Amino acid sequence: MSEPPNPPKIQLNGVRKAFGQKVVLDGIDYTLDEGESLVVIGGSGTGKSVLLKCILGILKPDAGSIRIDGEETVGVRGEEREKHLQKIGMLFQGSALFDSLPVWQNVAFRLIQGQGMERKEAKEIALGKLAQVGLAAPVAELYPAELSGGMQKRVALARAIASEPEIIFFDEPTTGLDPIMADVINDLIVASVRKLGATTISITHDMASARKIATKIAMIHGGRFIWAGDAKDIDRSGNAYVDQFIHGRAEGPIQMAVRRP
């Protein structure tokens, strides 16, 4: 039997991750083809960020397999791992900007440190990416601590796309932005994905954003994908959990652990 010519971009099989007694991911299976944009929705604390970190190899899954371009990534180290990481860009939920470096060096970080590009050339590119996310040149010289939360998010987005990776993860790219800027960011994500032909996984609580970015949607609950399908089918999923989530209702199968007054 020979390998098919184009293995799926990202393939998850039975991915499990627990912290001590607490099981966060309990067997995630999913196959994402090249050029698709998956949006993962789900309640707070259901393990969405943990899932991305497992794919990146920042966290090591307890069991299961994660393949990128058909190659196993779980447990690989050194150059092998480096090869996978080079394909991936990530927007961290908390931005995770380097606060010892000015904004433009944050954006150009991988170009300078990872690819050894000339600082001048890298700065040009960084300024271009910053302009794309609506940040003018003077901002490039500021330090992350001098920016508002929304501006930090946009810098983090510029950093994630700066090296034009094949795979991009967006962990809540629009949380904390005003609705107009959120829509600009959504457009930007869609545009850069189309331009780069990138495969993306995004996490969001914002259904408007999900509808705009996604070609595929999956909902995580109880450590599993309880529903996954095409984005256009989200409104007729026939799944009570999904319906409750997309309509934002307190009543339904998902019970929040809060005391009602």
Ligand X SMILES: Nc1ncnc2c1ncn2[C@@H]1O[C@H](COP(=O)(O)OP(=O)(O)OP(=O)(O)O)[C@@H](O)[C@H]1O
* Chain contacts with another protein (rule: CB under 8 A): 53, 56-58, 82, 85-86, 88-90, 92, 94, 96-100, 109-110, 113-115, 159
Strand (E) or helix (H) holding 148: none
CB of 159 to Mg ion, least distance (A): 18
Q: Which of residues 49-108 bind ligand X (CB under 6 A)?
A: 49-50, 93
Q: Out of 65, 93, 175, 215, name the contact with Mg ion by CB under 5 A.
A: 93
> Which residues have CB under 8 Å from 71's CB, separation 6+?
84
| Alpha-carbon gap, residue 95 to 150, rounded angstroms | 10
| Alpha-carbon gap, residue 127 to 74, rounded angstroms | 35
Nearest residue by C-beta to ligand X? Answer: 49
Q: Compute the C-alpha angle 233/52/182, nearest 5°.
A: 60
CB of 199 to another protein, least distance (A): 16
Cβ closer to ligand X: 23 or 74? 23
| Alpha-carbon gap, residue 67 to 51, rounded angstroms | 13
CB of 173 to ligand X, least distance (A): 12
| Alpha-carbon gap, residue 126 to 105, rounded angstroms | 8
State both tokens at 201: 């996984």
CB of 20 to ligand X, least distance (A): 7
44 touches ligand X by CB under 6 A? yes
Contacting positions for Mg ion (CB under 5 A): 49, 93
Contacting positions for ligand X (CB under 6 A): 19, 24, 44-50, 93
